[in-house]
Structure 1
Amino acid sequence: MGQIRINNMVFHTYNGVFAEEKRMGQRLEVDLDMSYPIETAVQHDELTETVSYADVYDTTKEFLEGHQFNLIESAANGLLKTLQTQYPALGTITVRIRKYAVPIAGVFDNIEIEVTGRASDVD
């Protein structure tokens, strides 16, 4: 099974528990890992034989910029379900979301949430 990856997508969102996060917003970075049978499905060098990266990017952008969540865990779960529904030809989808502006008194780069599911697992 092949892998399609879109790495370090950056979106300005209004997610968070605190009023300042909801008002000012912040940067989220997103990585997607998607399994797809590239080896067998892509035979004629045609876009119709694969998943459009541009469409997946647009879906991700629309979802994250169009919703507000208190928790990035909820954002990750919601994005995963959206991708599972809109791209049923994919196998396993892994969503990683990184948040840098976290109100924790400590030194670290970011907080990252990762969720994984199969497109066929959609309710």
Structure 2
Amino acid sequence: MSDELSVLGIECWAHHGVFEHERRDGQRFVIDLTLGVDVSSAAASDDLRDTIDYGSLVGEVTAAVQGEPVDLIETLATRIAGVCLLDARVEWARVTVHKPDAPIEATFGDVRLTITRHRTPTSPGKGEADDE
């Protein structure tokens, strides 16, 4: 059983999408993260080194979102999950990618995709994951 650490509403400007204007002009993406971690060591020590430094993680996730453009939010979410799983203390990562300004010819509130990835038992700390 793991505890959960969440960081919600990480806003990034990036150039992902299938259409040329999405790649050219960019748009807002919002990322929600929930990580499965055991926080008992950090709670006992009260030391940042014993837990996930979510400030640093947000910087790494932002860099991943703003990196090389991809067509699909499925690809982007998988990239983000891989970043989260680089820390060996993360047992699983749930990533939601919101694309609130998606090019849809209708009134809508949001487009979002949520994936959950687990650490592979053979490669702890390598950022590899199994699909759920």
Q: TM-score, normalised by structure 2?
A: 0.86
Instruction: Select the structure that is richer in helix.
Output: 1
Partner AA of 2:45 in structure 1:
H
Alignment partner, residue 33 of structure 1 = 34
Using a 3 Å threshold, how does the CA distance of structure 1 residues 24 and 15 change in structure 2: closer, same or farther?
A: same
Counterpart in 1 of 2:56?
Answer: 55
Which amino acid in 2 is paired with 1:87? D
The 4+ residue runs of structure 1 with deviation greater than 3 A are none
Give the counterpart letter for 1:116 in structure 2.
T
Q: Give the aligned partner of residue 96 of structure 1.
A: 96
CA distance in 2, matches of 1:76, 1:104: 20
Note the 1:1-123 alignment, pairs <5 A.
1-38=2-39, 40-42=40-42, 43-84=44-85, 86-120=86-120, 122=128
Q: TM-score, normalised by structure 1?
A: 0.92
**How far did residue 12 of structure 1 move?**
0.2
Q: 1:49-70, CA deviations, whole angstroms, 9 ceiling, x for partnerless residues? A: 1010011101101111112011
Aligned mates of 2:103, 2:63 — CA distance in 1: 26
Give the aligned CA root-mean-square deviation in angstroms: 1.3
CA distance in 1, matches of 2:59, 2:68: 14
Letter in 2 for 1:46: D
Letter in 2 for 1:102: A
Deviation at 1:119, TM superposition (A): 2.7
Q: Any stretches of 5+ residues in structure 2 without a counterpart?
A: 122-127
Residue 66 of structure 1 aligns to a residue in which SS?
coil
Q: CA separation in 2, counterparts of 1:93 and 1:2?
A: 12
Q: Does the residue aligned with 1:41 lie in a helix, a strand or coil?
A: helix
CA distance in 2 between partners of 1:66 and 1:103 (Å): 21
Say whether the 8 Å CA contact 1:99–1:110 is kept in structure 2. Answer: yes
